Structure 1
Amino acid sequence: MEQAPFAVVLVLVAVAALRIAQYHWRQGAVIIGAALLVAAVFRAVLPSARAGLLAVRGRPVDVISYAVLGLVILFVAFTITNGPLG
């Protein structure tokens, strides 16, 4: 059960991969960014023993890394033009 948070993030990434495979890359990128933000929240609120594979480094480094990367991916997905988001 300690890998449940990691499984949630993996399911989100799998849904994103499906959307990307269906040529909806912006939606897929938004879902990946959201998955990273979910990982950051899980890592921030869960103890290291319950965070499972989301606990890679120290808690502050993990939370900052997941959150910044998620926000960068969301920024790119929302700001690149000439592609439908919906």
Structure 2
Amino acid sequence: MTRPPLYTRRPFLAGLLRQLPLLVVLLTVGTGLLMVTFEHWRRGLVVVGLALVGGGVLRLLLPLRRVGFLAVRSRPVDVVLLVGVGVLLTAFTLAIPGG
């Protein structure tokens, strides 16, 4: 006898688990913004940029049923936008002199 899938047994829990990639990205961005608030702006913005790159990698590697609200558009558009903005933010942050 096989057990029914999690989304039929516990739909709320299955929905929460599906949003874990987005939660990880948002918590990391929040940590970076907290660092910016406490005057570690360069490290904080690098953390935010790397969180966006990580979100792009998660969007690229995870199947659609596991990626949750991290999937907004088509996969190529999501990946290019997340990775592109993350790399640009990190590069601009590290290019500003006087750190």
TM interval, short-chain normalised: over 0.9
SS class of match (1:56): coil
**Displacement of 1:53:** 1.1
1:30-52 CA distance string (max 9 Å, x none): 00000001101100011122111
**Displacement of 1:23:** 0.7
- Counterpart position of 2:40: 24
Higher relative contact order (CA 8 A, sep 6+): 1
In structure 1, C-alpha distance between the alignment counterparts of 2:85 and 2:35, rounded to whole Å: 20
1:14-71 CA distance string (max 9 Å, x none): 1101101101111111000000011011000111221111100000000011010000
Gapped runs of 5+ residues in structure 2?
Answer: 1-16
Count of aligned pairs: 83
- Counterpart position of 2:14: none
Identity of aligned residues (%): 39
**Displacement of 1:5:** 0.3
Runs of 4+ in 1 over 2 A off after TM superposition: none
- Counterpart position of 1:77: 93
Q: Which amino acid aligns with 2:70?
A: L
Could you say what the CA RMSD is over the residues aligned between the two structures, in angstroms? 0.7
User: Which of 54, 79, 94 is the equivalent residue of 1:63?
Assistant: 79
